[in-house]
Amino acid sequence: MKRYLTLVAVVFLAATVSLAQDEESDLNTLLGGIDSHGGYGAFSLGYASIDDKDGLVMGGRGAWIVNHSLGLGIGGKAFFNDYHYDSALDEDVNLQGGYGGLLIEPILGPMEKVHLSFPLLIGAGGIVHAEDYEHRRYDYNYRDDFINDSDAFFVIEPGAELEFNLIRFFRVAVGAYYLYTSNIELYDTSEDALRGFSYQLTFKFGKF
C-alpha cells in the first residue's frame, strides 16, 4: 500500500512544481493567478492484464485546463478480458466492468512539441463475472443468467503520458498507468484481479 501512496504523492508534487513555474501567479488568492483557461475532451484505447488474462481498456475524459499546466475534470474507463472456459459452470466466462471519478492532471512543459503529463484518477467502479451471452445454453429471455456475480470497488489510478502536440487543438498521448483497487470479492476471481499496469493511446481535442 505504501508504494501506491508514494505514487500519488509524486503526482501531487509534480502538480505543485508545475504551477510554481508561473511566476506571475497571485499566490495570495485562490484563482487570482489564473491568466489562461482551456479544456479538452479525450478518448483512449489500450491493453491491460485482467486476472492474468489479456484485456481491453477503453476510456473517456474531459478536463478544464488552468494556465496550460493543470487539468481538472472527470474520467472513466470500461474494461473486459478474454472469454475462458469455466469447468464448474461448463460455460465460457469473462470479467467486465468500469470505473470513473475525479481527474487531476499536472502537465509539464505544455508548450513544447513533446512533453509529459501525469493524470491521476480517483473514484469507484464495478465489475461482473459474466457468461458468454451469445453462446450460453440458457433461455435468452432470462438475462439474470448472464451475470454470475458482481462487486463494487474503490480505485486510484496514477499514470504518466508522453504527449505530442500535432496541431493546435489536437494532441496524442502514449501512456502507462497503474490501477490500484480495493479488494474484489467475486466468484472464481482473485481479490487483486484488476491491480496492475495498463498501456493506452489517448486522443485529445480542445484548447490547450
Q: Which residues of 43-66 are buried (b: 16+ CB within 10 A; e: fewer)?
A: ebebebebbeeebbbebebbbebb
> Which three cell numbers, joined as nine digits, stand for 3?
508504494
- Residue 5: the pLDDT is 46
- Residue 89: the pLDDT is 83
- Residue 33: the pLDDT is 62
Which residues on adjacent β-strands are paired with residue 98?
Answer: 78, 126
Which residues on adjacent β-strands are paired with residue 36?
Answer: none
Tell me, what DSSP letter sits at residue 2? H
Contact 131, 92 (CB under 8 A): yes
- Region 2-23+36-207: CATH code: 2.40.160.20
pTM of this prediction?
0.80
Residue ranges covered by each domain of the chain: 2-23+36-207
- Residue 139: the pLDDT is 52
Which residues on adjacent β-strands are paired with residue 92?
Answer: 85
Query: How would DSSP label each residue in 4-28?
Result: HHHHHHHHHHHHHHHHHT-TT--TT
Ranges of beta strands (E only) in 67-146 are: 70-81, 84-86, 91-108, 114-117, 120-131
- Residue 146: the pLDDT is 83
Q: What is the pLDDT along the chain (208 residues), one digit of tens a residue?
A: 545 445 444 444 444 444 444 434 444 444 456 678 899 999 999 999 999 999 999 999 999 999 999 999 999 999 999 999 988 888 899 999 999 999 999 999 999 999 999 999 999 999 999 987 665 555 554 444 588 999 999 999 999 999 999 999 999 999 999 999 999 999 999 999 999 999 999 999 999 9
| H/E stretch holding 207 | strand 196-207
CA dihedral 163, 55, 180, 3 (to 10 degrees): -70
